[in-house]
Amino acid sequence: MAPPEAERVSGARRLRPSKDMTHCNGRGGETLGGAEPVDGSGSCESGADVSITAHKPASLSSPVTAWVNGVCKRCGGGMDPLLNGVHAVPSVPAAAVDARAPPRADGEVTAAALSPDQRSDRERQEVIAAAMRAILNELGVDMHGDGIAGTPERYARTLLEFTAGYAQQPAEVLGGAEFREDFGEMVLMRDVDIWSLCEHHLVPFFGRCHIAYLPSGKVVGLSKLARVAEMYARRLQVQERLTRQIADCIDELIRPKGVAVYIEATHLCMSMRGVRKPDAKTITTAMRGEFATNASLRQEFIDMVNR
């Protein structure tokens, strides 16, 4: 008798087998052929909104049953986004695992490949976790330990946090916190910590950002300057682009007489790998308006930053 189709469920549920299923080999590894379908066995404790299909693995005497956060408690294996690895597959579109973003003329990395509208946050997390599980499997990591078992899901949440800035828009970040004020001198916010991921190696770069502007009839809520920096830092970046984006955003949103941004950062891709120069620091600046045209004002800004 042909096995029933997998049912789409969420929360704790029963698993039903499908002939299209890939199988657990008890090691969270390769696909096995010829496993017996299991009629209505298995349950899921993950609460994940995915369709999961299950077969009785050839190498196991009882069916795959217990899933916790997408991890099989029997073998530590998970869901293979490439449909050919580990024993269950989340029901996300094939396009969901295509990490290629459409190229943009200005070379900027967009979120298009990371957050298509058709996918929920939960689905995105599952796709990333599944890809991470495949990577860990490929590295030969034993996924049975208490600490490592939930790492793919943990990593997915972390990566989404690191890139949360893609979902934010400048106007929302500013939130209308502009106040008419008769103050035309330089406002400088120093020492804003930034943590970002370099788009080349996906490892952190971090440092300090200093933002100044010359008000033109209105001032902006101080926290919003730091929020603008945070929004752009929480994306895959290069330091130069991050610096430019912060300056342009403030320039366009509040139309001051000038904006200056100064970032000093350490790139772990240069410290813990590659050329291995842990003390190297990169400084980038972006000057707009009077900061670009008035050398003494620019110097005053630099002096205040380095004071």
- By annotation, the residues acting in catalysis are 198-201, 239, 267, 269
Q: With respect to ligand GTP, which residue has the nearer C-beta, 1 or 275?
A: 275
> Does residue 270 touch ligand GTP according to CB under 6 A?
yes
- Which residue in 214, 238, 246, 297 binds ligand GTP (CB under 6 A)? 238
Q: How far is the CB of 38 from ligand GTP (least distance, A)?
A: 46
Q: How far is the CB of 284 from ligand GTP (least distance, A)?
A: 8
Which region among 27-35, 164-172, 210-218, 266-274 touches ligand GTP (by CB under 6 A)?
Answer: 266-274
Structure tokens at 185: 């001198």
Q: How many residues bind ligand GTP (CB under 6 A)?
A: 10
> Does residue 240 touch ligand GTP according to CB under 6 A?
yes
Q: With respect to ligand GTP, which residue has the nearer C-beta, 91 or 110?
A: 110
> Does residue 239 touch ligand GTP according to CB under 6 A?
yes
- Which residue in 68, 148, 269, 304 binds ligand GTP (CB under 6 A)? 269
Judge residue 61's burial from the number of C-beta atoms within 10 Å of its C-beta, 0-12 exposed, 13-18 middle, 19 or more buried: exposed
Return all residues near 150 (Cβ < 8 A) that are at least 6 apart: 68, 69, 71
Please report which helix (H) or strand (E) contains residue 174, including its range: helix 170-174
Q: How far is the CB of 273 from ligand GTP (least distance, A)?
A: 7
Helix (H), strand (E), coil (C) string for 124-158 = HHHHHHHHHHHHHHHCCCCCCCHHHHCHHHHHHHH
Which region among 79-87, 129-137, 248-256, 263-271 touches ligand GTP (by CB under 6 A)?
Answer: 263-271
Q: How far is the CB of 281 from ligand GTP (least distance, A)?
A: 12
CA–CA gap between residue 163 and residue 289 (Å, rounded): 30
Q: With respect to ligand GTP, which residue has the nearer C-beta, 198 or 287?
A: 198
Q: With respect to ligand GTP, which residue has the nearer C-beta, 249 or 265?
A: 265
CA–CA gap between residue 177 and residue 250 (Å, rounded): 12
> Does residue 245 touch ligand GTP according to CB under 6 A?
no
Phi–psi pair at 268, nearest 5 degrees = -65, -20
Q: With respect to ligand GTP, which residue has the nearer C-beta, 69 or 266?
A: 266
Q: Are strands 187-198 and 236-237 parallel, antiparallel or unpaired?
A: parallel
> Does residue 274 touch ligand GTP according to CB under 6 A?
yes
- Which residue in 200, 222, 272, 299 binds ligand GTP (CB under 6 A)? 200
Q: How far is CA 290 from CA 49, 176, 241, 251, 257, in A?
A: 53, 24, 21, 11, 6
Q: Are strands 36-37 and 55-56 parallel, antiparallel or unpaired?
A: antiparallel
Return all residues near 72 (Cβ < 8 A) that are at least 6 apart: 24, 28, 64, 66, 78, 87, 88
Q: Are 77 and 129 a contacting pair, CB within 8 Å?
A: no
CA–CA gap between residue 240 and residue 73 (Å, rounded): 45
- Which residue in 140, 275, 296, 303 binds ligand GTP (CB under 6 A)? 275
Which region among 1-9, 166-174, 270-278, 299-307 touches ligand GTP (by CB under 6 A)?
Answer: 270-278
CA–CA gap between residue 65 and residue 269 (Å, rounded): 41
> Does residue 243 touch ligand GTP according to CB under 6 A?
no
Taking CB atoms, the residue at the shortest distance from ligand GTP is 274
Q: Is 220 helix (H, G, I), strand (E, B) or coil?
A: strand
Which residues are at the interface with ligand GTP (CB under 6 A)? 198, 200, 238-240, 267, 269-270, 274-275
